[in-house]
Amino acid sequence: MKRACLILAAAMALPGCATSEAIEVLNTRYQGSAEQLAGAGPVALTVVDARVQNRTMIGQKKNGYGMDMGAIRSSQPIEDVVRANLEGALAARGYSHAPDGASMRVAVKSFFASFRTGLISGSVVPDVRLTVTVARPGAPEFVKDYDSSGVEASTMLADGDSAKRGLDRALTAVVDKIVTDPELVAALRGS
């Protein structure tokens, strides 16, 4: 009996336990494939965290029965992660960062990974939603929402590492949508 209690106590102390909190380091280096754009100018980028739900978590572990377990959190502020990815994508497109450039404000509306459980495996369903506002003197304000719809990845575990991979992939997809959107390019140029 004493041995069984010790084994149970040791198992509960494991850091990989489903009920423990997971802290993940999200990718802050742009991984997309946006190409150089002729005539790209300066941009003043601002990113704010405008989430109204799940502000302290980026996901929640699930057990095999689909029940919520430990929280999954980011080690960095979400607005810093989004800003770093956007700065990389804008630089890849040829935009420079300058305070006197076109004002581009990005509001993070959602940044959360949900899990769907299946019979043998499950999937990560990342929800990354960003609202972009571009303002230039003498031009109408441009506002558009971008999301990660359609991005899903299969996984064996509903854990922090799976949430991280799904969110990194979703953020790259959303950032690519933003920087390659002809409407946004026109708004940044003021045309």
Per-residue model confidence as pLDDT tens digits over 94-153: 999 988 889 999 999 999 988 777 667 777 788 999 999 999 888 889 999 999 987 776
Residues 6+ apart with CB under 8 A from 83: 45, 47, 106
Contact present, 130 and 107 (Cβ < 8 Å): yes
Judged on CB neighbours under 10 Å (0-12, 13-18, 19+), 81 is buried
pLDDT, residue 6, reads: 38
For the chain, the DSSP string reads -HHHHHHHHHHHT-TT-TTS-EEE----S--S-PPP-TT--EEEEEEEE--SS-SS-SEEEE-TTS-EEEEEEESS-HHHHHHHHHHHHHHHHT-EE-TTSEEEEEEEEEEEEEEE--SS-EEEEEEEEEEEEEE-TTSPPEEEEEE-TT--EEES--SHHHHHHHHHHHHHHHHHHHHH-HHHHHHHHT-
Report pTM: 0.82
Contact present, 89 and 34 (Cβ < 8 Å): yes
| 16 compared with 123, residue with greater pLDDT | 123
pLDDT, residue 156, reads: 62
